[in-house]
Structure 1
Amino acid sequence: MSLPDSDHELVVAELGREPTAAEAALFENLWSEHCAYRSSRPLLSAFESEGDQVVVGPGDDAAVLALPDPEAADVPAADRDADDYGDQYVTFGVESHNHPSFVDPFDGAATGVGGIVRDTMSMGAYPIALLDSLYFGGFDRERSRYLFEGVVEGISHYGNCIGVPTVGGSVAFHGGYEGNPLVNVACVGLTNEERLVTATAQEPGNKLVLVGNGTGRDGLGGASFASEDLAEDAETEDRPAVQVGDPYAEKRLIECNEALVDEDLVLSARDLGAAGLGGASSELVAKGGLGARLDLDSVHQREPSMNAMEILLAESQERMCYEVAPEDVDRVAALADRFDLGCSVIGDVTDGNYVCEFAGDDEESEVVVDVDAEYLADGAPMNDLPSEAPTQPDRDLPEPEPSLEEAVESVIAAPSTASKRWVYRQYDHEVGVRTAMKPGDDAAIMAIRETETEESDPEGEDADGGDPEGVGLALSSGANPNWTETAPYEGARAVALENATNLAAKGAVPLAAVDCLNGGNPEKPDVYGGFKGIVDGLADACADLDTPVVGGNVSLYNDSVEGPIPPTPTLALIGTRKGYDAPPAALDVDRASDSELLLVGAGDADGGALGGSEYLAQTGGTDRFPALPDAEEGPGGLADLVASLAAVARHESTLATHDVSDGGLAVALAELVTDEAGADVTLPDRVAAFEETPGRLVVQTTDPEAVAEIAGDLPVLRLGEVTADGALSLSVGDDAVALDADAIRDLRGVIERELA
């Protein structure tokens, strides 16, 4: 590790002296791209992050959002006022663990889960759901499969052991991730107004207490490691920068954190992630405009003879830093002991500098760090980097085009669009008994029963005499690298609309979003231009959706000897609806004879292009990106579009819904078919079968007129009939394809079959 010359000069000028070895290491890590967002922060002001629902926005460990009362849960956020929100809060955060997951896929992914869960805990929340969005190289590559299997195993092991359900996410395979996979993990937590904690230190004289596992030498320099390109020998040379997780210790820490919050013992908190103790403690006091004095010898350790720099920068997992009133220290220690966790009083909050003392094997302590906390945490200069705007491809469709049967089968069987059952069956997605809509559908739904109140349901039952209805929390996350590689700005807009459509398919309207912005080496103008495109596209689309972006993560330098990754804007979106029941993404055979299939949503079925589609990925060729709905389209733009789709999904005549996205209508229809229920569909042309314009739902309904009325100005196209033969029959002119349920299952089961 070494501090760059330009940064070294700034630090010397600020301190008036040469930095100590520990200070230089702290500045290198806290001023790294991973911690300071030096190349991305100038762009992030494009995001709108305010709203009545936003209790804590960007800048803390996780965002905090107020949930609407059940009666307002179906109302778009822009149409609510402050009185529509109660005192039940959810936290929402996302982070990346990309480089560690390349070097050590199991531990890299597992500790990514552990880190985002602790971000949730530090806000006084209990974690209730995880989402993971994963990106790998071609599925036919042995290396990609090794990483894929290791990452999924790491996520499932850690999440299952700590008892937090993994309920959704996405998986994409693309050649651009051959040398650098992406592992993006989001977490939702539950808290309320009284339990809320932040990462802002409160008052000089309070104690800083470290609770959790002992500090070791694992993860040293992890922040700086995440801020540079992966080298060819990264798997061996960078392994010490990867943390090693202990999920059983994390589970005890979760429960201990709950007890500490229950007893109102936590004044502020920060989890120990990037840059370890040095990062957590300095950022905690810096946010409060304060300082600290730490005794590094007091830190409980699991390895002998650690030096000051190692104690400060080790990213050993399952550790939390708490600000505690002096009179409460003994009670905190007693609770830590109850849960078999280490506990150290490591220092005091002060109104001076951030100071660390260390003796080690010497008889007397010496000051090894003495810097202004705010300068250390927030003083990194921003980068002013050149960028080149990306170009979009011309239309060059494959010649000759494959038959409809060949094209449909190849798209259904593509690893990126195929069934992900092999993945989510490894996750315990029902622990906690909140999961009302399970993985494999467009969005997960979590039952927030704490919102069930007498005011919203005086009889204690719903209108049908069933259980009382609270707020259903809908969750979706993901990105499509084919889209954003073809056209970064338009592709990122489509990612936002696609995730919002996932929520709408289950009858939910967006509440807020967090993003994980992944890019290559920003010092390359074309790479930075693509990254700028995804930031602007995501920001514009979320503004058009009236959805504040309340937090996120940036991961740059995802570059290797294989080249840069496609710009990848993972968006995690959270939405609300009244009640927990939603139409499934599976056709209802019992109502086959008296129902129809409709396509409802943005644009015309035959009006798009094929750019970024799985069809072109399978057959070759290029094309412009499909035209997206304008923000001005309709009276409220994209927000009204999504609200109308959600209203269609909630209508009593709606039996099944599924969004149109990866693979187009061909894949959406194949996913709707069951062993008993099939579909007989006719389309105007081939483009209609494979274009991937988001903002559209396939709807099985018993009342097409009612759906058309709800849709208003949105196009509604009759696709065909629901059948009772469990087969998909798709016709385009004189060309047709027929696949029964077994054939579809075989095509979609490529991942499970190959990895069995």
Structure 2
Amino acid sequence: MVDTVEIAFQTPDVEQPYAALGVKDDEYQMIRDILGRRPTSAELAMYSVMWSEHCSYKSSKVHLKKFGSLSQETPRGPLLAGIGENAGVVDIGQGYAVTFKAESHNHPSYVEPYQGAATGVGGIVRDILAMGARPIGVMDSLRFGPLDEDDTRRVLPGVVSGVGGYGNCLGLPNIGGEVQFDKSYLGNPLVNALCVGVLRHEDLHLAHASGVGNQVILFGAATGGDGIGGASILASETFDEDGPAKRPSVQVGDPFMEKLLIECTLELFQAGIINGIQDFGAAGISCATSELASAGDGGMFVNLNLVPLRDPNLAPEEILMSESQERMMAVVEPRNVERFMEICRKWDVQATVVGEVIEGDRLLIEWNGETIVDVDPKTVAHEGPVYERPYHRPEWLDDVQADRAEDLPRDNSAEGLRAALLKVLAHGNVADKSWVTQQYDRYVRGSTVLAQPENSGMLRIDEETGLGVALALDANSRFTYLNPYLGAQHSLAEAYRNVAVTGAEPVAITDCLNFGSPEDPEVMWTFAEAILGLVDACRDLGIPVTGGNVSLYNQTAEAPILPTPTVGVLGVIDDVATRIRASFAHAGDSILLLGETAEELSGSIWEAAVHDGHLGGLPPVVKLGAELALAKVMGEAARRGLLSSAHDLSEGGLAVALAESAFKGGTGFAVTLPEGDPTVELFAESAARAIVSLPGGALPEFEALCAEHGVPVQRLGEVTEGDELEFVGQFTVPADEAKQVWLSPIPAAMA
């Protein structure tokens, strides 16, 4: 019998459908040069998915390298694992480590909203599991088209059901995130999912195949025809005007199988019988085998006939490309294989030895007795094409930045300010999100300390000491459109601030960078500027990037989404009992404004809500030194128990922070705005600001703490028992009326 690889040597001129698999002409020639022959059809399938934009980062690598210049130290100690691993791992003290990461599942979620979102959650959970951690919570950042669009009504309910259905079945609390709306996401929603897990330092596991003779075991669900090229190829191209047309490419999830897989994997870790492990995500077996082999000290042999199949008619190329869910691959010493199988049987998890670690540096895959793949795994997993895409600043940006919101008319009459507040509260990006969050279980597992609609989610890690972590996931796409460098920094600063105002210390970030086509020089300039902004901000804040995800080609035809650099910030709190809630708690408490407000209305929700979607000017000034100072004040105030509540100021400015704090606490307030233009004082979105409430007896100590750290503080008024939101000398709104305006937009649209 002549091997398929040998046939490839003998038939160099056979035409191959590489273009249909998304492989460019020069990439196909590069594959031929690497192999010294044409690829077999199986090798072509592997290279096509592994060299896709989604898997290889071929257009973003040159920019992502800048993250490597950052310190790998967090304020709490060194990173235990960082960029390049399945997820970053942070030492949080007391022998505990936390791993967290965010990833996108944008394109699949447009094609098939429920399964696209559900399998996005499943995939990020397995990334966390593969590090040796128990997943303990999830979050999501969602972007949709306008609420009144038919396609939003198609996509949003399915995505929310998928996120909630999968996470709820796994028993993982959904503790936070965001939901926003803009016309640019119509036809290209964003579904960014984050998972966090906990482990002891000694339980850390990395993805590598080492030890010649060690067995390669595939365990979990059987392989089917769903998801062939799903995340890898589907997420590496632009949708056309006709919309979704690739349903077979979307994976199908089974959360109950994943739950068994989690418990089984954790027991395998506990038994100490796993030498290396890799989850199955984008590119399926192609990814798991090449990643494990390239990171090890030998090669790998796999017999594809041994892979359990749901569909016996799958071709070997399809098996290699399938992105069927709930699968893992482990490397196990021969003496531990039977124990491995025993644990899998206990959890009713299918496990099959499909190969072994071999000498040399080749990945060999066999099918029906023939060698169909013979490659250096590094060329598949790590040494693909790297593009330095041309980029330049958009010519239209000058006109956009000159069209400042600060120059738009303002109605500062009582009636005008009142109407503006109600319009801002009714804007989709501000309006209540409980229609979404009530579909998520936020308190399962019993360790949730804070969850939506708090500033950030918080989980207790250790019951005896109260050690905990806080997480926030934010992106300001409007600011990033106006200035990508500053907008990315604002996205980071907002998540940083959301963590800080709970009393936790921000220590590290992950990111999920969502942009349009990398083949558009203007999009690539925006991407490059956003990376520079994040690098510089992380350096100034003293926190590392632990890893993340890039999602490109987020556009329909020629229209890209607003650039959306989603940033997740992890914070550590020594005792969750000291956490600070966002809602007003006690009538009579003083309300203080921390930070300084400037005439900064461009990119604001006021601009969008009052002026019919206007977007122009420059974002507010970024104040990273002030963010650091504010975080120090909030952390110390939490430890001393000085505050009743704290709420960051971001979308909607002071007016929204006050209203949300009252709505959530069931109170009213009476405040006097600082001197100045009332529209600016109410709705400006200046950075590094928060409001706090506290009893009068704590005022002197707290004001002294602010003075010590150079944080400006101003008393605005007090929390009231009444049912009014009173802006003294300006206007008053009944709390119930304002709250109903805030509560109704999403339920009304979905009805």
Common topology (TM > 0.5):
yes
Deviation, 1:612, is 1.1
Indicate whether 1:600 and 2:589 are aligned: no
Indicate whether 1:580 and 2:588 are aligned: no
**Contact in 1 for aligned 2:478/2:615 (Cα 8 Å):** no
The separation in 2 between residues aligned to 1:21 and 1:231, in whole angstroms, is 28
Deviation, 1:25, is 1.4
The separation in 2 between residues aligned to 1:574 and 1:727, in whole angstroms, is 36
Indicate whether 1:681 and 2:680 are aligned: no
Which residue of 612, 618, 641 maps to 2:609? 618
TM-score w.r.t. structure 2 length? 0.91
User: What pairs up with 1:43-442 in 2 under 5 angstroms?
Assistant: 43-47=63-67, 48=70, 50-51=72-73, 52-68=77-93, 86-222=94-230, 223-236=232-245, 238-360=246-368, 365-390=369-394, 391=397, 393-394=401-402, 395-396=404-405, 397-399=407-409, 401=411, 403-442=416-455
The separation in 2 between residues aligned to 1:43 and 1:355, in whole angstroms, is 30
The separation in 2 between residues aligned to 1:26 and 1:424, in whole angstroms, is 39
The separation in 2 between residues aligned to 1:58 and 1:41, in whole angstroms, is 12
Which residue of 710, 713, 716 maps to 1:716? 713
Amino acid at match of 1:745: Q
Report what 1:658 is aligned to: 647
Deviation, 1:49, is 5.3
Deviation, 1:130, is 0.2
Which residue of 737, 740, 744 maps to 1:745? 740
The separation in 2 between residues aligned to 1:298 and 1:104, in whole angstroms, is 31
Report what 2:691 is aligned to: 698
Deviation, 1:645, is 3.2
The separation in 2 between residues aligned to 1:31 and 1:280, in whole angstroms, is 14
Amino acid at match of 2:685: E
The separation in 2 between residues aligned to 1:629 and 1:119, in whole angstroms, is 33
Report what 1:571 is aligned to: 567
**Contact in 1 for aligned 2:142/2:180 (Cα 8 Å):** yes
**Contact in 2 for aligned 1:290/1:373 (Cα 8 Å):** no
Indicate whether 1:14 and 2:24 are aligned: no
- Which deviates more, 567-576 or 693-702? 693-702
Indicate whether 1:553 and 2:542 are aligned: no
- Which deviates more, 692-701 or 227-236? 227-236
**Contact in 2 for aligned 1:522/1:556 (Cα 8 Å):** yes
**Contact in 1 for aligned 2:623/2:687 (Cα 8 Å):** no
Identical columns (%): 39
Deviation, 1:57, is 0.6
Q: 1:17 to 1:554 in 2, by over 3 A?
A: same
Q: 1:311 to 1:623 in 2, by over 3 A?
A: closer
Indicate whether 1:39 and 2:39 are aligned: no
Secondary structure of the structure 2 residue equivalent to 1:90: strand
Unmatched runs of 5 consecutive residues or more in structure 1: 69-85, 453-468
Secondary structure of the structure 1 residue equivalent to 2:569: strand
Report what 1:729 is aligned to: 726
Render the CA deviation track for 1:491-541: whole Å, top value 9, x for unaligned: 111111111111111101112110001100011111111112221212222
Secondary structure of the structure 2 residue equivalent to 1:393: helix
Secondary structure of the structure 1 residue equivalent to 2:401: coil
Render the CA deviation track for 1:333-358: whole Å, top value 9, x for unaligned: 22222222221111011232443444
Deviation, 1:105, is 0.4
Deviation, 1:622, is 4.8
**Contact in 1 for aligned 2:594/2:714 (Cα 8 Å):** yes
Which residue of 630, 642, 651 maps to 1:641? 630
Deviation, 1:259, is 1.1
Deviation, 1:138, is 0.7
Amino acid at match of 1:646: G
Deviation, 1:565, is 0.7
Secondary structure of the structure 2 residue equivalent to 1:349: strand
Unmatched runs of 5 consecutive residues or more in structure 2: 1-19
**Contact in 2 for aligned 1:99/1:180 (Cα 8 Å):** yes
**Contact in 1 for aligned 2:365/2:374 (Cα 8 Å):** no
Deviation, 1:747, is 2.8
The separation in 2 between residues aligned to 1:597 and 1:379, in whole angstroms, is 57
TM-score w.r.t. structure 1 length? 0.90
Deviation, 1:646, is 2.9
The separation in 1 between residues aligned to 2:682 and 2:359, in whole angstroms, is 65
The separation in 1 between residues aligned to 2:431 and 2:684, in whole angstroms, is 17
**Contact in 2 for aligned 1:161/1:247 (Cα 8 Å):** yes
**Contact in 2 for aligned 1:673/1:726 (Cα 8 Å):** no
Render the CA deviation track for 1:576-621: whole Å, top value 9, x for unaligned: 11211322211123xx23x3111113xx22x131111111111224
The separation in 2 between residues aligned to 1:508 and 1:355, in whole angstroms, is 46
**Contact in 2 for aligned 1:474/1:575 (Cα 8 Å):** yes
Render the CA deviation track for 1:238-259: whole Å, top value 9, x for unaligned: 1111100011100110110011
The separation in 1 between residues aligned to 2:749 and 2:581, in whole angstroms, is 28
The separation in 2 between residues aligned to 1:227 and 1:389, in whole angstroms, is 23
Secondary structure of the structure 2 residue equivalent to 1:53: strand
Which residue of 20, 24, 27 maps to 1:4? 24
The separation in 1 between residues aligned to 2:685 and 2:327, in whole angstroms, is 44
**Contact in 2 for aligned 1:199/1:269 (Cα 8 Å):** yes
Q: 1:614 to 1:562 in 2, by over 3 A?
A: farther
Deviation, 1:726, is 3.1
**Contact in 1 for aligned 2:54/2:550 (Cα 8 Å):** yes
**Contact in 1 for aligned 2:514/2:550 (Cα 8 Å):** yes
Q: Output the aligned Cα RMSD.
A: 1.8
Amino acid at match of 2:225: R
The separation in 1 between residues aligned to 2:241 and 2:616, in whole angstroms, is 34
**Contact in 2 for aligned 1:179/1:563 (Cα 8 Å):** no
The separation in 1 between residues aligned to 2:166 and 2:50, in whole angstroms, is 27
Secondary structure of the structure 2 residue equivalent to 1:199: coil
Which residue of 479, 493, 499 maps to 2:495? 499
**Contact in 2 for aligned 1:494/1:693 (Cα 8 Å):** no
Render the CA deviation track for 1:48-99: whole Å, top value 9, x for unaligned: 250133100111111111112xxxxxxxxxxxxxxxxx32111111110000
Amino acid at match of 1:371: V
